[in-house]
Amino acid sequence: MDQHGTQGERGRSAPDGQPTLWQVPDDLPATGMPFAVALLALGAAHGLGHKGLHALVREHREQLGRLWDVPDSRLADELARVKVPTARKVADEISTHRADLLATARAKADELARHNISIIGPSALPARLAALPGAPLWLFVEGDPSALYEGPHVAVVGTRDVTPDGVRATEAAVRTLAAYPVTLVSGLANGVDAVAHQAALRDGVRNVAFLGHGIDIVFPAETADIRARIVRTGGAVASEYLPGEHYRKAQFVQRNRLQAGLADLVVAAEGRRSGGTAHTVRFAATYRRPVIGFTWPGAGDLADLIGTEPTGRLIDIFTTAGRRTLDALCRSAADSYGHTTFGLSLVERQLGREAELRALPPEDLIRLRQFLDDLLGQEDGGHAR
């Protein structure tokens, strides 16, 4: 399949024995229309709406372009068969504006491609997302789509009203996972999300950000630079909403399910059980993803919710024991994907940079070797004391 999802599936017969569009009836030749063009054109058809568009994609998947080859005389019946609301009205809209809808969609697809935005069709979605109840049927992705497929993924999420301790907790979480080949997932909102993305960029961690609006909208404006840096450093920004769709509260809730669904581990840095992060926690518990909540004196009551979830676990992130617990979880996630792990990789990178920038006399390296020998000599049960 190409990045526009043009490869399709062919399927079953309709209940009355009549062929579906998937079966390529003799009077309906195969089409080479990319999934992206078909999706964008239908998304712009007045009256179709989210429900109708999802019904059509669910039925025809990457063969969605075949719908544009249906003769006008049969279009209303085909829409009605797929249970598109107001099928006759929508069919008239498509028939009347067919050429304009397709021309505009092709231009939009070209524009998105010029901005490094690809469209993943339903059969090419990351397996962890495709397996979700109410899974997305497509994703618009700015940047490198491989960031969505190459795990493990650790979601770091939390409140927009982050406190100074919440900032410290979020940065500690990212610093811990940064030692391993892990991709950070968050939502590019102000607060914990922005802190997590910035810390990941600082520490060389690849990012995935899910949006609650169209891929061509930057919101909030304060995160525009973070978004650009995520894309520039090999990460991805993804949305299931059509270009031009503005943000709504319900869409941010749905965005949260994608964060939880893609993640191998969800870290809720700070929040309240009445806030939006609680949705991510509940989604993660439903999907049986491990959820880590941070505690410290004065932390919000989100930890109370996490403590009641079957996959929940609470950690005092500001203690050595808490940091080691999170480290072990992140390392285990990376190990489960077959990655080579090294807990001191950040130290190794920093040491390499320092050695490159400094005129080190031999005695400095001898002193470093002595320090490492002393550290090894203090080892007790696998941990330095």
pLDDT at 252: 86
Helix axes 72-81, 87-114, angle to 10 degrees: 90
The number of C-alpha atoms within 13 Å of 76 and in the hemisphere containing its C-beta is: 11
Q: Residue 123 has which token pair?
A: 């059969």
256, pLDDT greater than 50: yes
Distance CA 3, CA 324 (A): 40
Spatial contact of 220 and 214, defined as CB atoms under 8 Å apart: no
pLDDT band of 383, cuts 50, 70, 90: low
381, pLDDT greater than 90: no
Q: Can you give the length of the chain in residues?
A: 385
In sequence order, what are the residues at sequence separation of 6 or more whose Cβ sits closer than 8 angstroms to the Cβ of residue 49?
A: 85
4, pLDDT greater than 70: no
pLDDT at 14: 35
In sequence order, what are the residues at sequence separation of 6 or more whose Cβ sits closer than 8 angstroms to the Cβ of residue 77?
A: 87
The terminus-to-terminus CA distance of the chain in angstroms comes to 53
302, pLDDT greater than 90: yes
Distance CA 332, CA 45 (A): 48
pLDDT at 30: 57
pLDDT band of 204, cuts 50, 70, 90: very high
Largest Cα–Cα separation, the chain: 87
pLDDT at 249: 79
Q: What average pLDDT score do residues 42-63 get?
A: 95
Residue 8 to residues 36, 53, 190, 322, Cα–Cα distance (Å): 12, 17, 39, 48
pLDDT at 137: 98
Distance CA 140, CA 138 (A): 7
pLDDT in tens, 8-23: 333 333 334 444 433 4
Query: Which residues pair with residue 291 across a beta bridge?
Result: 266, 312
Distance CA 66, CA 150 (A): 32
321, pLDDT greater than 70: yes
User: Is the full-model pTM beyond 0.85?
Assistant: yes
Spatial contact of 143 and 230, defined as CB atoms under 8 Å apart: yes
